[in-house]
Each structure stands twice: as structure tokens, then as C-alpha cells.
Amino acid sequence: SPASLTISYDASHLNNPEAMIAVFAHTLAHYLGTSAKEPPPGGVENWPQVTEILAVFLGFGLMFANTALVLPQGGCCGGPVVRRQAFVSQHDITYALAIFAALKRLSAKHVQSHLKKSLRGHFKRALREIEVRHAPRLREIEQYSIH
């Protein structure tokens, strides 16, 4: 019989499509990841982080980066507001997104146009570092990619 997947969500995400998509993608990535025959790097205690990175490579990196942390719009009261439970920092997710963009040869300008403003500079620097310092490894990985 085919496997089934039940995805639950927080009703507060109904008005935040990016967070809702990130939650769904995290659940899907966890489902796919746990079907692997081996535990994730570092052991099963790393599943939450591994599933977020896997979701980036499933194509949901923008949603994860844009919803990891949101600073309040104006005002001096209150601290940062977390839109969803994030297991990997917004900067680390943005770096993973840069690796994904480099491997898929996505237009940096196109990715940046959808990335929240506070992460665009980080994405640009990460992409530059990846393309300069890790170009040979990227080309090696590309030969195993499915296009």
C-alpha cells in the first residue's frame, strides 16, 4: 500500500503563505529524509536541521530564509518575531540557498528579488564565496545532478 503523509499546521500561518509553505516543505523533507536507510550526518538528533537543508535543495530555500526571523516593522518595543520554528539560522539557510542557486545556475538577481532585503547582501557574499572558493567542487557535484 502507498505511504501516506499527514501534514498539520498552525492556523496562525494561514495569513502567512511563506511560513505555511516552509512548514509544509519541512514536513515533506522530514518524510523523505527519514525514508533514507542511513541516519543523517551527525546522527538522528540533527534531523530538524537536516530536513531544513534538504528542503532548501528541494527548492524551498526562499521560503525558509524569508521566514526564519522577522524584525518588527518600526517601533522600539519588543524583540524579533519568529514566524515559524526555525532550526537553522536565516544566514545559514541563505548560505545553503546560495549553494543551491550556484548548482542550479539560477540568476542571482532573480533569487535576490524574492529574498527579503535584510538577507540580500548576505546571499550575494555567500554566492561570491561559493563561486570563487568552491568552483571546482561545484562542477564535480554538478555531474551528479538531475536537470
At 36-51, the pLDDT tens digits run 899 998 999 999 999 9
Q: Which amino acid is it at 12? A: S
* Among 84, 85, 31, 24, CA closest to 59: 24
User: Would you say residue 3 lies in a domain?
Assistant: no
DSSP state of 41: T
Q: pLDDT: is 141 or 3 the higher one?
A: 141
Total domains in the chain come to 1
Q: Residue 73: CA atoms inside 13 Å, Cβ hemisphere, count?
A: 0
User: Would you say residue 98 lies in a domain?
Assistant: yes
User: Would you say residue 35 lies in a domain?
Assistant: yes
User: How does pLDDT run across 51-62, given as a tens digit for each residue?
Assistant: 999 999 999 999
User: Would you say residue 1 lies in a domain?
Assistant: no
Give this prediction's pTM.
0.83
Measured in degrees and rounded to the nearest 5, phi and psi for residue 81 equal -110, 125
User: Would you say residue 108 lies in a domain?
Assistant: yes
Does 109 score more than 60 pLDDT? yes
User: Would you say residue 147 lies in a domain?
Assistant: no
User: How does pLDDT run across 76-88, given as a tens digit for each residue?
Assistant: 555 445 456 788 9
DSSP state of 115: S
Q: pLDDT: is 70 or 131 the higher one?
A: 131
- How confident is residue 16, by pLDDT bands cut at 50, 70 and 90? confident
Domain residues for 49? 11-142
- How confident is residue 101, by pLDDT bands cut at 50, 70 and 90? very high
User: Would you say residue 4 lies in a domain?
Assistant: no
Are the beta carbons of 70 and 109 closer than 8 angstroms? Answer: no
User: Would you say residue 6 lies in a domain?
Assistant: no
Distances 32 to 12, 35, 40, 105 between C-alpha atoms, Å = 26, 5, 12, 25
Mean pLDDT estimate for the chain: 86
* Among 58, 52, 45, 54, CA closest to 91: 52
Does 74 score more than 70 pLDDT? no
